[in-house]
């Protein structure tokens, strides 16, 4: 009796899906083997649920998390970039996902100034006064080419970069930048806030080191070499 001919694999597998690779017995999924020693099992359970840190690092983490996820921008639009800034509040882009949708009309209630548009020489002192009225800590985003470097307005009437009068934390390029670009700039600002030290009165709390980062040994001052006095 003759054996039936082997079937074509293309017929059994018409979509050309690669078969799953065989899993070796050593790497087969399964429940981890519990240690036989009760003390060892208790130690492993404790290590999975306990974290060790410093009080300063924990306070820094909590404060920076609240600051980064509850940014209150100042409603301050100067030119066409302000239309893109307004769009991030709408349902299409929904900046409330990042906790930055509460635009304030008063600088005393805001901690982020988004300079959206060109800044004229007449407007520069007004912008600086609004920045001074914002409580600390405060941040600035320069939105668009006009706010960052003057853009196409290279003349005597336009300030060639808002960083000449206020410190800028994040620059968003474009003319005008899309709302996605501004959201990306806000996300970069959040990353900067999370790694910044927190000042509470006379104390300055440093952020927690990144996981796996090696601690740098403090530099020891080098001793000055002794001068040899030659025989006269």
pLDDT at 64: 83
pLDDT at 232: 45
Bridge-based pairing state of the strands 198-200 and 203-205: antiparallel
How far is residue 1's CA from residue 67's CA, in Å, rounded to a whole number?
A: 81
What's the pLDDT tens digit per position in 18-57? Answer: 555 565 555 555 556 566 677 777 777 777 777 777 777 7
Q: Considering only CA atoms, which of 158, 108, 161, 112 is closest in space to residue 133?
A: 108
Beta bridge partners of 156: none
Q: pLDDT (tens digit, 0 to 9) for every residue of the chain, 232 residues total?
A: 566 666 665 555 555 555 555 655 555 555 565 666 777 777 777 777 777 777 777 888 888 888 888 889 987 788 888 888 888 888 888 888 888 888 888 888 888 999 988 888 899 899 999 999 998 889 999 998 888 888 888 888 888 889 889 999 999 988 888 988 999 998 888 888 888 877 776 667 677 666 555 555 555 556 555 555 554 4
- Residue 142 sits at the vertex; the CA angle it makes with 138 and 147, to the nearest 5 degrees, is 135
pLDDT at 140: 92
In this structure, are residues 212 and 205 in contact, taking their beta carbons and an 8 Å threshold? no
What's the pLDDT tens digit per position in 132-148? Answer: 999 888 999 999 888 88
| All structural domains of the chain with their residue ranges | 73-197
pTM: 0.66
The dihedrals phi and psi of 198, each to the nearest 5 degrees, come to: -105, 130
Residue labelled with tokens 């790694």: 195
In this structure, are residues 114 and 127 in contact, taking their beta carbons and an 8 Å threshold? no
Q: What tokens does 111 get? A: 């901690």
CATH of domain 73-197: 3.40.50.12280
Q: What tokens does 198 get? A: 């927190």
């Amino acid at each position: 009796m003759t054996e039936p001919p082997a079937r074509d694999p293309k017929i059994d597998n018409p979509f050309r899906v690669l078969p799953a690779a065989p899993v070796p017995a050593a790497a087969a999924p399964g429940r981890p083997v519990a240690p036989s020693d009760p003390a060892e099992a208790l130690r492993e359970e404790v290590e999975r649920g306990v974290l060790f840190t410093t009080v300063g690092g924990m306070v820094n983490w909590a404060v920076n998390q609240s600051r980064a996820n509850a940014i209150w921008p100042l409603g301050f639009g100067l030119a066409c970039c302000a239309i893109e800034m307004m769009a991030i509040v709408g349902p299409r882009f929904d900046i409330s996902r990042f906790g930055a949708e509460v635009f304030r009309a008063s600088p005393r209630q805001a901690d982020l100034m988004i300079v959206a548009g060109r800044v004229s020489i007449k407007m520069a002192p007004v912008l600086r006064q609004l920045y001074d009225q914002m409580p600390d800590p405060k941040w600035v985003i320069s939105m668009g080419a006009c706010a960052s470097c003057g853009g196409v307005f290279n003349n005597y009437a336009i300030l060639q970069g808002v960083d000449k009068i206020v410190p800028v934390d994040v620059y968003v390029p474009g003319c005008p930048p899309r709302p996605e670009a501004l959201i990306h700039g806000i996300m970069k600002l959040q990353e900067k806030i999370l790694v910044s030290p927190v000042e509470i009165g006379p104390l300055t709390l440093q952020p927690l080191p990144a996981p796996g980062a090696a601690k740098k040994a403090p530099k020891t001052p080098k001793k000055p070499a002794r001068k040899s006095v030659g025989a006269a």
